[in-house]
Chains A and B, each alone.
Chain A
Amino acid sequence: MTETTHQKGSSTNTPGGALSGIRVLEISHQAGAVCGRVLADLGAEVVKLEPPGGEPARSSHPLVELEDGSEQSCFWLAFNVSKRSVCIDLSSDAGLGDFRSLVQDADIAVTDFQRLSLRESDRLQAIARDASPQIIWLDILPFGRGEPFEDYPATDTVLQALGGHLFLNGDVDRPPVRIGVPVALVQGGAEGASGALMAYYHRLRSGVGQRVDVSIQECIVWTLLNSTMIWQILGMNEVRGGAIRKERANRFYTRLVWPCRDGYIFFGPVGGGGGVARQKSYDALLKWMAEDGFTDEILTRHDWNGEGQFRIPQADYDAVTEVIARFIRTKTEDELMSRAVRDRILLAPVSSVKAVFDNPHFRSRHFYEPLEDPLRGTSLEYPFRWARLTETPLRQLTPAPLPGQDNERFLNAAKHQSQ
């Protein structure tokens, strides 16, 4: 791809974006903020409604201290850029009056279960639909609406568990272990953006607004990809593994995480399923090992990625693993990935957050976007260009708002209009 494509895909040339002119009200904690960020990147004007002084999510983990001594939430800073903030007290009549005025100009309202109880959400929804019958009202919830389950308490980890994913992570001699970032809440937010936009697309064509709800539990079930089918068809529950596991529906264990000189790589050289790519990958590995003097009869004793792989004894898998492990330990992550790309070996470094930040591939694609924030005195690079749209590039980032910084603009305008 040429440099001109980069420029065309860059956010700096075209203001607006696909959703330009669409206004979103966001009453959120974490999942709703992610949803709002996706909509803002796509060009919507996202107005956060916060209680006076700022919303509780401004102090959600991970917390850091900035140079000016203030404490900041990295989660909040990450997912609230490119938005406006209006502070109103939704528990007061005056606040509800302001809400009614604001919602008249809104196309989509985003809420989540951490910020609002269902009762509060329903009360606001009734006002919103009365003032703006075509509004799209999104609730991001642990389990969805409309049944006794809608009130069950939940958190990110609880939803990782109830979606069936937690059980499959970690070493078999210890309890299941969570993915260490709130994947359930973030994916619930992204799914909410997609659902809300579907409803908005429908409204454009039909004139009909409606309520949308997302079940985060269902989002997590989707991350399994094949576990519910494996159970139905084979009657098997998969077994968790840390570095060594039964991949997919295998009956045998293979090593998938390999220590190297300066970290770990993910690699399934043998027994990982069929396919020409896996066979070629293994051949390229053997060639490299031979160059370094790593040869052993076990390496070619079986067709490790062929049809017979499911009948190879566990002892042989263990033996071939030992030889490959000795070789991998002599290489660094960079050496392994460079050669992998050259020879099409199917491995990848288990990248630390630092390695993700420094990743040369992401860097060459201008995935990160610098953002100066004069209010907080920071200059940070955001993971940003998550989709490249030729005609409506993602909108350029602007700093996350201070609490209520846009009160005057939005409340006065709304009042003026409703008079």
Chain B
Amino acid sequence: MTDSIFSGLKVADFTWAAAGPIITKQLADNGATVIKVESQRHPDSIRLGGPFIDDKPGINRSGFFADFHSSKLGIAVNMGHEEAARVITPLMRWADVVAESFRPGIMARWGLDYESLRKINPRLIMLSSSLYGADGPWASHPGYGAQGQALAGLHSLTGWPDRAPAVPKGAYTDAVSPRYGAAALVAALIHRERTGEGQHIQLSQIETTVELLAPQLLEYQITGEVPQRSGNDKPGALLHDVYPCKGEDRWIAVEVEDREQWQGLVDVLSRQRSQTGQSLSIKNPSRAGKDELDEAVAAVTRDWDAQELMAALRSAGVPAGVAYKASDLLPDDVLRARGHFWPLQHEEMGTLEYNGPAYRFEHTPPRLTRAAPMLGEHTDEALHDLLGFSQTEIGELRSLGVLE
């Protein structure tokens, strides 16, 4: 019996940016040995993206990069060097999984396409993740997850009907595709465990995200009507909106699904009557118009502290959530009790709280074992200890410029 899910699993990780590294992070945080391959000339691009420690840019100073690279080792290899294969071929023989997220065609240029790699290592599972996927007319068009969420349709369904569609924060497809990608990758590992057969998995970040819109795509086909953004309206809910609370830019999302919850809401909001002079004047939500209802609720909530109101509503069985800012997430009691954040010490960045996985196992807990690697931090260690190179060979490869 192993103490982590992926103990003993070996991963050669050529992914960069977010979508790919978040998949290999799931492996690393569950015990796999993940070697991230970069070079001085082509470091992972998000090493160049902030936030930087002390607000000073630097190749080993990005918190953006750090969060996706817990528990991984980092090596620096000049992939363009004519003798790069002296390192890469043993790495590919060693690996159970090779992951990459280059533009389609780049791996083939290095002779590292799946057909070539399976000759070196027939049991290899290769995962290729790109924004648009490996083929099709837009396959080599550059872009980020923000373009991805626009093309996947999420963006058009977010915001107010009387205004331009609101950008959902972040490179959203980079967050969605790792969940589907990890499921496909682990399924391939299961298949290999049962048959001995490796394979190649290809992902498009955008297409995985379109899965989120499957109901709307069916709705459009059946009715001929194109679903539109509708602010915070939600069909089916008795009450659903984001209401103001006391303080600057404080908000609470409340959703009432049945009469019992409605009664809970009325009870909580009426309690304040003596202190604020405000109480909820609507007794029957299904007879009131949405605007009337929301205004009546907002008139009461704006005198409440958001956290206190959430606690009161939770006790009354009413679904409610403060619109957390990042500064609320780090001290949140629930995330703390859950052990979501993992403090990890890094030579240049000091101790930062990394995000851990969203799942927990009864017997094999995920463990974030180390902070993100500095560029090339483990080159010698990985080549010697894991790939079996002698110190003399490592010295030679370094003087040739293969290792950086």
Contact = CB atoms under 8 A, between A and B. Distances in A.
A313 to B, nearest CB: 20
Contact of A202 (B2, B53, B168, B318): B2
Contacts of A164: 324-326, 328-329
B397 interface: no
A36 B157 CA distance: 25
Given A74-B219, A353-B213, A212 B360 contact: yes
A38 B181 CA distance: 11
A231 to B, nearest CB: 4
A375 interface: no
Contact of B326 (A192, A205, A237, A245): A237
A243 B163 contact: yes
Interface string A174-212: 111111110100111011111101111110111110111
B211 A241 contact: no
7 contacts: A42-B184, A162-B324, A169-B168, A198-B359, A213-B359, A382-B218, A391-B191
Contacts of A229: 51, 63-64, 66-67, 352
Nearest to B233: A180
A269 interface: no
A248 B330 contact: no
Given A222-B175, A266-B150, A194 B359 contact: yes
Given A62-B235, A79-B214, A237-B326, A169 B158 contact: yes
A227 B330 CA distance: 10
Nearest to A34: B211
Given A161-B322, A177-B160, A201-B193, A191 B220 contact: no
Give the contact-size bracket for chain B: 35 or more
Contacts of B199: 389-392
B93 interface: no
Contact of A178 (B45, B253, B357): B253
Interface string A214-258: 111111011111111111111011101111010011000000110
B201 A387 contact: yes
Interface residues of A, number: 161
A225 B170 contact: yes
B197 A391 contact: yes
Residue with the highest number of chain A CB atoms closer than 10 Å, among B187, B242, B319:
B187
A95 interface: no
A126 interface: no
B36 interface: no
B385 interface: no
A160 B212 CA distance: 15
B232 A175 contact: yes
B83 interface: no
Interface string B219-259: 11111001101111011100011111000000111110100
Contacts of A61: 234-236
Q: Do most interface residues of chain A lie in helix, strand or loop, or is the interface mixed? A: mixed
A354 B218 CA distance: 11
Contacts of A361: 132, 136-138
A147 B332 CA distance: 14
Nearest to B198: A391
Nearest to A277: B142
A356 interface: yes
Given A214-B358, A340-B141, A181 B222 contact: no
Interface string B1-33: 110011000000000001000100010001000
A331 interface: no
B112 interface: no
A38 B356 CA distance: 23
A355 interface: yes
Interface stretch (A82-90, A286-294, A298-306, A344-352): A344-352
Interface in B195-209: 197-204, 207-208
B183 A194 contact: yes
A225 B211 contact: no
Contacts of B141: 340-341, 344
Interface in B156-175: 156-160, 163-172, 174-175
Contacts of A355: 153, 156
Interface stretch (A151-159, A401-409, A410-418): A151-159
B210 A367 contact: yes
Nearest to B353: A232
Nearest to A230: B51
A157 to B, nearest CB: 5
B89 to A, nearest CB: 22
